[in-house]
Structure 1
Amino acid sequence: MKIENQTVVGLTYELKVSKVEDEIESVPFSVEVRDEEDPFYFIFRQSGLPEKFEEYLTGKQEGDSFEFVLKVEEAYGEADDELLINLPKSQFTKERGFEDSMLQEGEFLPLMDENGYPMQAKVLKDFGDTLLLDFNHPLVGFDLHFEGKVLEVREATPEEMDHGHVHGEHGEDH
């Protein structure tokens, strides 16, 4: 079966990132590896991943290898200064599940948006009573280098399509 709309896709890959500054591109460095012990599964065209990522996988089938680069503009774009937000530190209490160690500069806070979906923010600066948080995607400003293999392609079940995520061994059980 080929990767197309309404299929569940299982991948292994290594993701490397690079950045261009002053017209000089950094050497790509590894930031994530999804191997056969921990493959990545998603519903094609419902993944929330960059459109170009899925475009490069279209038509591939189980056993196919892939290698491609998403340029910044095809991936998560450039950082948006409007997503840098100062919030009162009092919102991040132990009663709400936050430990002091989580509030350190450079840490990522696990949060929920107004609809209950998980999101994260990076702590940029601790100003004492407030924290400067960055709600940009962690991969903004980077070119993304993917190299991997298609492990599985199957038809998504009607229930998976309704829920918008993979069920079973490599997805959610509920």
Structure 2
Amino acid sequence: MKIQENAVVGLTYELKVSKEEDGIESAPFSVEIRDEEDPFYFLFGNSGLPEKFEELLGGKEDGEDFSFTLSMVDAYGEPDDELVITLPKSQFSGERGFSPEMLEEGNFLPLMDENGYSMQAKVLKDLGENLLLDFNHPLVGFDLHFEGKIIEVREASKEELAHGHVHGEHGAHE
């Protein structure tokens, strides 16, 4: 089966990122590896990944290798200064499940928005009573280099289509 809308896709890959600064592209460095022990599964057309990622996988089949680069523009774009905000440290108390170590600069805080969706913010600076947090996607501002293999393509079940995600061994459990 070819990768197409509403197919469940399983892949292994290595993701490397690079960034252009002052007209000079940095050497790509590895940030994530998904191997046979921990493959990545998603519902094609409903992955939440950059559109170009799915577009470049479309039509490929089980067993095929892939290698492509998403430019920053086609990936997560440029950083948005409006997503860097200061919040009172008191909002990140022990009663809310936060430890002092979690609030250290450079750490990512697991958060939820007002609709209950998971999100994260990077602690940029401890300002004493406040924290300077960056809510931009961690891969914003980078070119993404993917190299991998398609290990499974199958038709999504009615339940997976209704729920918008993969069920079973490689997906969400109900």
- Which TM class, normalised by the smaller chain length? over 0.9
Q: CA deviation at 1:7?
A: 0.4
Aligned to 2:102: 102
Give the TM-score of the pair, scaled to structure 2. Answer: 0.99
Aligned to 1:26: 26
Count of residues paired in the alignment: 174
Aligned to 2:45: 45
Pair 1:155-2:155 in alignment:
yes
Aligned to 2:5: 5
Aligned to 1:130: 130
Aligned to 1:142: 142
* Structure 1 ranges of 4+ moved more than 3 A: none
Q: Which amino acid aligns with 2:36?
A: E
Q: CA deviation at 1:136?
A: 0.2
Deviations 1:66-125 (A, max 9, x none): 000000000000000000010000000111110110000000000001111111000001
Deviations 1:36-92 (A, max 9, x none): 000000000100100000000000010000000000000000000000010000000
Mind listing any 5+ residue stretches in structure 2 that lack a counterpart? none
Q: Percent identity?
A: 74
In the TM superposition, what are the counterparts of 1:57-72 in structure 2 within 5 Å?
A: 57-72=57-72
Report the 3-state secondary structure (helix = DSSP H, G, I; strand = E; otherwise coil) of the residue aligned with 2:73.
helix
- Root mean square deviation of aligned Cα: 0.5
Distance in structure 1 (CA, Å) of the matches to 2:87 and 2:164: 32
Distance in structure 2 (CA, Å) of the matches to 1:83 and 1:168: 35
